[in-house]
Structure 1
């Protein structure tokens, strides 16, 4: 596969683990602007490309991004025109943090016609019921939104929460959180995780729909035998309308399969 340059589309690289902080100001539950999804081909680049084994990310038809406060304001219309067909937006963390850019990103993506979903960064020092209520309080149930996402990974940078429970307890808490969100949003959430966390906690036993991080090797090499829906393949993506590095993701399927998945999975 050809590698990606700053000006070329050759998708495939290391994506950031989802994380961030926020405020405790809730976002009003508003309906937002929903448009019928229109697939646009990607014109994205990478400042530090990796040569992936086939199938490399550029072989997938549908690409998107994930964002948090670190990206700052985006020109979402420009990003949409460049092939950002979906976005997962950091909403909450633990039981009391709201990403300060969530409302801005949520509105901007919706107005630009980008299929959007919200994700929660999990803390193992707060009960799953409390974290689920916090997410529900801050993420409006919006017609056409993608399923919510539970981001589970170790957080080595937290000054307050260093707990690493055993795999059975990790999976138990995940199921409680997922069930609470499914009841509220009417869709089973997606689970995001990283290679280390996946292996240490036997996350495949959850039997959920996965969004997987694999930034140095093909996702099928990093998670052998595991089915997946989204692949986070680089943290150094170049996206028109976004300043600095941006995480890039690929959908596992063709353009027609993307449309069919949206029909099944949009809230």
Structure 2
């Protein structure tokens, strides 16, 4: 079962794309990963670390159980702008296993306005410098080029025109990504935060891969996106 409690017409195309995924953290509680796989989910991104001193308490459980269920999975780190990037890189490497079967890691970059302890906002050049440190460290640790996750505001203020050699995972819950992000190719599309997936008790973020099933098999084989994806209109 794949559904959306509050579907938006602007993202209808995402539901029809052939390779579907979710992203999760401890907020989803206990997950029955076998049921998740049986529902039609092909991949999952699992929150691992945040800043330089927080580990998602469900990370290792989800990491191991998703793999056991046969679901391709990758780890993501949530960037804090008030901590040195070198500290965050060390924290990520300390807590994320080196696993050749994993998807490329993801660096989640957005402003930390929700945080009571780190609501900091940086100038563009300073933010880019921190991101570069993290991306280099994550690639050295995993052996795979990291993917960048972001939202429209942060992309517009910091990332537009930057990091052309990295794949992007874009949040857009009311329109196709190309309507929100200027001149940006993308690999993954987070299209709702109110998804429903068998095996997850409550709402969960749902995502689509920008390519065909054949493209996805190449991702799994090569361990990278490798610029093989096609347009959002793909539906084979």
Structures share a fold, TM > 0.5?
Answer: yes
CA distances 1:217-253 after superposition (whole Å, capped 9, x unpaired): 1111111321000000000001001011010000000
Deviation at 1:264, TM superposition (A): 2.3
TM-score for both structures, normalised by structure 2? 0.91
- Identify which of 181, 187, 206 aligns with 2:163: 206
1:162 aligns with 2:113: no
Measure, in 2, the Cα distance between the counterparts of 1:181 and 1:234.
27
How much has 1:53 moved relative to structure 2?
A: 6.3
Counterpart-to-counterpart distance in 2, 1:161 and 1:204:
26
**Mean Cα deviation higher: 141-150 or 231-240:** 141-150
Among candidates 196, 206, 209, match of residue 248 of structure 1: 206
Contact 1:198–1:204 under 8 Å retained in 2: no
Q: Is the 8 A contact 1:82 1:240 kept in 2?
A: yes
- Deviant stretches of 4+, over 6 Å: none
- Give 5+ residue unaligned stretches, structure 2: 225-236
**Once the 2 structures are TM-superposed, how far is the Cα of residue 44 of structure 1 from its aligned partner?**
0.4
Distance apart, 1:82 and its partner CA: 0.6
Q: Which has the higher helix share?
A: 2
Quick check: 2:11–2:173 contact (8 Å CA) kept in 1? no
Give, in whole Å, the separation in 2 of the partners of 1:59 and 1:259.
18
1:180 corresponds to:
137
For structure 1, the 5+ residue unaligned runs are 1-42
Q: Between Structure 1 and Structure 2, how many residues are aligned? A: 223
RMSD over aligned CA atoms reads 1.2
Cα shift at 1:259 = 0.8
Question: Deviation string for 1:155-176 (max 9, x for gaps)?
Answer: 2121121221111111111111
Matches within 5 A, 1:1-267: 43-52=1-10, 56-207=13-164, 208-265=166-223
Work out whether residues 112 and 121 of structure 2, in 8 Å CA contact, stay in contact via their aligned partners in 1.
Answer: no
The 1-side partners of 2:120 and 2:25 are apart by: 24
